[in-house]
Chain A
Amino acid sequence: MRERPPSGHADRQVWTGWGFLAPFMIVFTLVFLAPLGYSIYLSLFRDRMVGGNLFVGFENYQRAIADPQFWSALGRVTLFLVVQVPIMLGIALLVALAIDSGRLYGKNFFRISIFLPYAVPAVVAALMWGFMYGDRFGLVGNINEVFGISLPSPLSSDLVLASIGNIVTWEFIGYNMLIFYSALRVIPHSLYEAAQIDGAGQFRVIAAIKLPAIRGALVIATIFSIIGSFQLFNEPSILQSLAPNAISSYFTPNLYTYSLSFAAQQQNYAATVAILMGLVTMVIAYAVQLRGLRKDA
């Protein structure tokens, strides 16, 4: 605005910008903002058998905070994210660094092949791994047969969370690897030349140049992974038919809200749980962002 001549030009630009953005914002309002507002509204009411909706203020929130099923679901996805996200991002980072180092044979083949699972729908991934986990015609069954042993079933209640972690890891290693790799590609060449003159080795270059340079990508990937973990739904929901005893209707917060609203018809309470989860997710994502980008500031 500062450098622009004080003519009609600037005014025209104001409206041009909105003209291009308006279609997005109109649909966005319809499918994001309106439902969000309605959700908050729903969470403040209670549906009674007789007499319709009753305004109850924060009563639903008090109920959720004292709800052991809510805490159990939240605890489970927290455990999931603390274990699964570092493993997934760690492997993705190592692969990205390996491909970027130029020391691999056939690096383009690696890059595209490891990315391919991202194109597989969560439904197909969960079905595929679910069959492989199974002892009927799955790999676990095959291995038991061939070696005459009995491995613990990946679909048992002790292992099912780890088995889901494996599916999610498989789906997203390549995607995260590509984000990191793209960030590595835009590091200015001159930095490597300087490091070479200083006699820095490969690991020194990684620690002093590459990792700091892709910090933004690391933070973004971490935030998206945290959001994904808190929203875990598809994989457990599909595995449910293969492992009905191991995956309860409140296995994750999203499964819980889904069963509350569509099986139990408790739409007001479901909205409350969903909003609480949204708040938790935003607070943690924001904290990660602040911590991750602090040194850049």
Chain B
Amino acid sequence: MTSGNPTAPARRDRSSAAVRLRPQQPRQRSRTTRKPRRSVLLTVLTGLVLIYSLLPLFWLLINASKTPAGLFDSFGLWFGEDFALLDNIVATFTYDDGVFSRWLGNTLLYVVVGAGGATLLAVLGGYALAIFDFPGKRAVFAVVIGAVAVPGTALAVPTFLMFSQLGLTNTPWAVIIPSLISPFGLYLMWVFAAQAVPRDLLEAARIDGAGEIRSFLRVSLPLLAPGTVTVLLFTTVATWNNYFLPLIMIRDPDWFPLTLGLNSWNAQASTAGGEVVFHLVITGSLITIAPLIAAFLLLQRYWQSGLAAGSVKE
């Protein structure tokens, strides 16, 4: 513990053996010596919450397969007479000169640059907070966490005015730059790095003559991988789902992300002379959530172990 740092959270004084065992821990630990008996009653009760969670997604899937007329004259929780999912998908991508593809591309751009950048900054910053001592460390954390409590609108108006003076509104930068900051990501990486990077390993790398950047890249970064995947997934969700920030920053539909585009299609129905396209709103919604759900399902082993290690236990 030569590089002792008194402000790091969580159990940094664990033995390094325990730290190394950690990645396997959540999967392999058995709860008690005798296995608890499975309970049908408990499964059924929890099943109610499961149905509540999945029912709207099921509704969305069913209704994305209906024709505009079928939406109105068939029961909401079962298929209509015609199965029009493919037609709807084609219609979603071709409606209004294919503007939906443009929105999808914008969202991807915002996610790759915004969430990717946010993850990079959080990993570097969290690592700094966990590994190094430097003056002002406590203050940094207090300021960052305090800032989370400030309402989005308190910052939205002045950020909008600032960006507008810089000529950045109505450009992708207005969405990307604010997306680069994830206080939650920073916190998660801090907690994670404090546990996952053994200090003696870094000390060994230093003795071997590796510089700080080299030991970060070669020694620490691989150890930080589960935490990094977790932060990347959460910043991706935050950027993919962002609505408020583009709402104030972007006026030009060519730079809309999916969320703003979908809402504009929905709002068409209530504007005078606007075409009603509920079937496109529903199918577009399904296309919007599908990639995120796929990412969560495919990567669950990584992000769940990352989250477990970063969980808050005082």
| B162 x A34 contact (CB < 8 A) | yes
A123 and B263 contact, Cβ closer than 8 Å, known pairs A31-B181, A278-B149, A293-B314: yes
| A233 x B152 contact (CB < 8 A) | yes
Q: Is B24 among interface residues, defined by CB-CB distance under 8 A?
A: no
Residues of A within 8 A of B38 (CB): 103-105
Q: Is A236 among interface residues, defined by CB-CB distance under 8 A?
A: no
Give the complex CA separation of A120 and B178 in angstroms. 21
| B289 x A185 contact (CB < 8 A) | no
| A28 x B289 contact (CB < 8 A) | no
B217 to chain A, nearest CB (A): 12
Q: Is A98 among interface residues, defined by CB-CB distance under 8 A?
A: yes
Selected contact of A2 from candidates B4, B122, B140, B304, CB within 8 Å = B4
Q: Is B288 among interface residues, defined by CB-CB distance under 8 A?
A: yes
**Can you name the residue of chain B whose Cβ is closest to the Cβ of A296?**
B314
Most chain A CB within 10 A, of B2, B56, B120, is at B56
B68 to chain A, nearest CB (A): 10
**B207-244 interface code vs A (CB 8 A; 1 in, 0 out):** 00000100010000000000000000000010011011
| A99 x B46 contact (CB < 8 A) | yes
| Interface secondary structure of B, over-half rule | helix
Q: Is B95 among interface residues, defined by CB-CB distance under 8 A?
A: no
B251 to chain A, nearest CB (A): 11
A165 to chain B, nearest CB (A): 13
Selected contact of B1 from candidates A3, A24, A38, CB within 8 Å = A3
| B281 x A127 contact (CB < 8 A) | yes
Q: Is B296 among interface residues, defined by CB-CB distance under 8 A?
A: yes
Q: How large is the interface on A (under 10, 10 to 19, 20 to 34, 35 or more residues)?
A: 35 or more
A-B contact count (CB 8 A): 330
B301 to chain A, nearest CB (A): 10
| B155 x A39 contact (CB < 8 A) | yes
| B53 x A103 contact (CB < 8 A) | no
| Contacts from A to B (Cβ < 8 Å) | 1-4, 10, 12-21, 23-25, 27-28, 30-36, 38-39, 42, 91, 95, 98-106, 110, 112-125, 127-129, 131-132, 136-139, 141-142, 146, 170, 173-174, 178-179, 182-183, 185-187, 189, 192-193, 196, 213-217, 220, 227, 230-231, 233-234, 237-238, 241-242, 244, 253-254, 257-258, 261-262, 267, 270-271, 274-275, 277-278, 281-282, 285, 293, 296
| Contacts from B to A (Cβ < 8 Å) | 1-4, 25-26, 29, 31-33, 35-40, 42-43, 45-46, 49-50, 52-54, 56-57, 59-60, 63, 71-72, 75-77, 120-122, 124-125, 127-129, 131-135, 137, 140, 143-144, 146-162, 177-178, 180-181, 186, 212, 216, 237, 240-241, 243-244, 247-248, 258-260, 262-263, 266-267, 269-270, 278, 281-282, 285, 288-289, 292-293, 295-297, 300, 304, 307-308, 310-314
Q: List 20 A-B contacts (CB under 8 A).
A: A3-B2, A3-B4, A12-B212, A20-B132, A23-B120, A23-B125, A39-B154, A103-B39, A103-B42, A112-B300, A124-B285, A128-B56, A128-B59, A185-B25, A185-B26, A230-B151, A241-B267, A257-B154, A258-B153, A270-B153
